[in-house]
Structure 1
């Protein structure tokens, strides 16, 4: 929510924005705003990876409704990986104008929910990751070609 749509990793179709605003202690891979994407990304070694299968921000009632239908899968190098449910965590957001979710450049608190995957650092080399998620009438499909190497 802190990146305008034009450079937002969630709106990215090819992976060119994968490195944008990454923290040093975890590498976030983005879902989509409800579309399909094929992305190629490079990830530094020794950094854990996290990504949503499907997620939402809103109020507790919206999260409860969303999560009642949430489902998804992630497959890394042909092996299914397990997701954790986040049923409604308070999160602090620094929004930015022209972001399709926040739409404001103010700081605010909201509730975040979804199905998330957290992985230990991936081994150096090439990896494939397939992310699929769905809740209510919203769906996500992202195919990643990942290269893990030096930062």
Structure 2
């Protein structure tokens, strides 16, 4: 599938989704298997979530956090990165919901993912503690998007290859948290500084 390049779009999509939060490293979170999504399911659902809003309300284009609550599912809270810029976002998150986000990700042809992942690197720091990501090198995923969205640049359902550096975490404790995410692959560089407030149940 051909995708434009604007951080993510048509001509091989590159989306550095910087977003996340948690209280444990990814390995520890993995021990709570009931909260974790299989990699193909996670990527397909995240790309579908990110491509269901036009640019004005899109969580990837969001600069301050106003769009972070758009279309969130009930069983997981997604965080988004940027199209290759830096952003500072303030978001409120409900208590008791696990979190999932990429440090850096992409969709496109299998060869696009292979080249992208050879250079991919990223980091996430939650409340001063480093979070280790999982590496997804490329697998088929299903994406459903709306027309005129800035993420895939097209509407409808399609199958593509997804890859990236990902984090899944159990629910955060109620209160305030800081999350810093950075990602890079070749010339594409992205970053988000999050101020997160987890609301009491």
Q: TM-score scaled by structure 1?
A: 0.96
The CA deviation string for residues 72-107 of structure 1, in whole angstroms up to 9 with x for no partner, is: 100000000110011112211112222223222211
Aligned residue among 76, 79, 82 for 1:32: 82
Q: What is the DSSP-based 3-state SS (H/G/I as helix, E as strand, rest coil) of the residue aligned with 1:110?
A: strand
1:73 correspondence with 2:126: no
**Whole-Å separation in 1 of the counterparts to 2:153 and 2:182:** 26
Aligned residue among 121, 125, 133 for 2:175: 125
**Whole-Å separation in 2 of the counterparts to 1:23 and 1:57:** 21
Instruction: Answer whether contact 2:134 2:165 (CA < 8 A) is retained.
Output: yes
Runs of 4+ in structure 1 off by over 6 angstroms are none
**Whole-Å separation in 1 of the counterparts to 2:197 and 2:181:** 17
Q: What is the DSSP-based 3-state SS (H/G/I as helix, E as strand, rest coil) of the residue aligned with 2:115?
A: helix
Q: TM-score scaled by structure 2?
A: 0.73
Q: Which runs of 5+ in 2 are unaligned?
A: 1-50
Cross-structure match for 1:7: 57
The CA deviation string for residues 6-53 of structure 1, in whole angstroms up to 9 with x for no partner, is: 111000000000110111111001011111000000000011111111
Aligned residue among 89, 95, 104 for 2:139: 89
Cross-structure match for 1:106: 156
Aligned residue among 46, 50, 69 for 2:96: 46
Instruction: Answer whether contact 2:175 2:200 (CA < 8 A) is retained.
Output: no
Q: Which runs of 5+ in 1 are unaligned?
A: none
Cross-structure match for 1:139: 189
Cross-structure match for 1:55: 105
Structure ranking higher in helix proportion: 2
**Whole-Å separation in 2 of the counterparts to 1:20 and 1:31:** 14
Structure ranking higher in strand proportion: 1
The CA deviation at 1:57 is: 0.5
**Whole-Å separation in 2 of the counterparts to 1:145 and 1:121:** 16
Instruction: Answer whether contact 1:2 1:93 (CA < 8 A) is retained.
Output: no
